[in-house]
Amino acid sequence: MTAIAACFYVSLPEWQGRSRSRSFLVVPAALALICVYIMMGFVAPESRQPWLLRAALGLGLALGVIRGLFIKSDIDEFGLVRLPGARDGLLVTLAIAAAVVAATLAPLVSGQVVAWVPHATSLAGLGATYLSGRAVAVYLRTRS
């Protein structure tokens, strides 16, 4: 929960349309990946679905790179990047937060809900790799 809260906090400048360093775009993605790594520990060994997680990670990375290549970005005279209208980061971070909450609370609710934990982990993985791919693509595209 702390990592996802930090992910929200460091994503605020992007959501508010403020300029920030290109390398700082990677921080929310790294925090989201930490959340996914922790969530993998919540999945019971007998209910793990590695193909689902791998597919989600691959799809998220591909979608993130595509979005990063086509996202509008403004660079100021100091080399800071602003992503006007980039609300997708907010939506993805909210989806990751919902998946973290679901994976954390599912074992406490009932035994049948625990089956949702691998799916929540895969959803969080998709979002984390989406943010990573988008950040790397924007970084590479906007460097001078």
Query: Per residue in 43-63, pLDDT tens?
Result: 777 777 889 889 999 999 999
- For the entire predicted model, the pTM comes to 0.88
Average pLDDT over every residue of 122-131:
92
Asked if residue 98 has pLDDT above 70, the reply is: yes
Asked if residue 35 has pLDDT above 90, the reply is: no
Q: For 82-97, what is each residue's pLDDT tens digit?
A: 888 778 888 898 899 8
Q: How many CA atoms lie within 13 A of 9 on its CB side?
A: 7
pLDDT for residue 137: 92
What sign for the dihedral angle of Cα 27, 93, 59, 42?
positive
Residue 73 confidence class, pLDDT cut points 50, 70, 90: confident
If 0-12 CB within 10 Å is exposed, 13-18 middle and 19+ buried, where does residue 87 land? exposed
Could you give the 3-state DSSP secondary structure of residue 89?
A: helix
* 114 vs 29: which has the higher pLDDT: 29
